[in-house]
Amino acid sequence: MFILKNLYVVSRKILSVFRIVLIALGVVLLLAILLSFTDYPFWAYYWLGTHNAELTKDPNLIVLMGGGGMPSPDGLIRCYYTAEIAGQYPESKIIIAIPCDTSRHEESPELLMAHELIIRGIDSTRLLFEKSGHNTRTQALKIIDMLGDFSVDSIAIRIVTSPDHMFRSVATFRKAGFKYVGGRPSFEQAIDEEMLLRKNITKDQLKTETRKLNLRYNMWNYLKYEIIVLREYCAIVYYKLRGWI
């Protein structure tokens, strides 16, 4: 009888804690949904991609962060911006930083990225590969090793990566010893809402259809931004605690 009574008390406590957790999760979800109807998630995402990412001199080294690999939407858009910058600074070298083993197959992600740059007019002799680093910190250190006798103070780096990863990348490379580091976030170019709306409609219809588009696109995109930003802030805190930024 005593054992059953203790089990009952314990089960009541567990249910009470479970109920509190569910309520807390519900509140968090409600706040996330409410925020998705504002512009705050986008501006938080935008801040990660642009804050402290300016480069005060012309880059002589472009670092293309591999991200999720290739082929992928993220990989393609990073290659697009890398080729654009490389065209503006034809004397700069390009390092493709992604942890892969080219010897396994000829369509390894870094080779696919290199091919994408080449078909966009980039000379293959400008391309270098950093394949040993397994995170942003070790990639920065491995790139220092690749430079050999070159002083990090003489190198100006333009990093190309996703907007959410830009703040941490620039801070990590600067902490590793590079003096001149800037970024080019690979922001997507959204379709203009007006292109999605029917022509020759009344003002009331225009407002109604615009609200529908905001619900169909912006809300869900902003919910996604919230997850991305939260994940990246956790990574920034981890890097800060490790002394990497």
- Rounded to the nearest 5°, which phi and psi values hold at 106? -75, -15
The residues, ordered by sequence, that sit 6+ positions from 166 with a Cβ below 8 Å of its Cβ are 48, 49, 50, 53, 159, 183, 185
Our CA angle for 130, 133, 134, nearest 5°, is: 135
pTM exceeds cut of 0.75: yes
Q: How is domain 54-189 classified at the CATH fold level? A: Rossmann fold (3.40.50)
pLDDT in tens, the chain (245 residues): 556 566 666 677 888 888 888 888 888 888 988 888 888 998 999 999 999 889 888 999 999 998 777 888 899 999 999 999 999 999 999 999 988 765 556 678 888 999 999 999 999 999 999 988 889 999 999 999 998 877 788 899 999 999 999 999 999 999 998 999 999 998 887 655 555 555 665 655 555 555 555 656 678 888 999 999 999 999 999 999 999 99
Calpha distance 91→29 (Å, rounded)? 50
H/E segment holding residue 48: helix 40-50
Q: Hey, which residues does 183 pair with through a beta bridge?
A: 159
Report yes or no: 53 and 167 within 8 Å, Cβ to Cβ: yes
Strand segments, DSSP code E, in 44-179 are 61-65, 93-97, 127-130, 156-161
* CB neighbour burial string for 143-161, b if at least 16 within 10 angstroms, e if fewer: bbebeeeeebeebbbbbbb
Of 32, 71, 91, residue with least CA distance to 226: 32
Q: Locate the domains of the chain by residue range.
A: 54-189
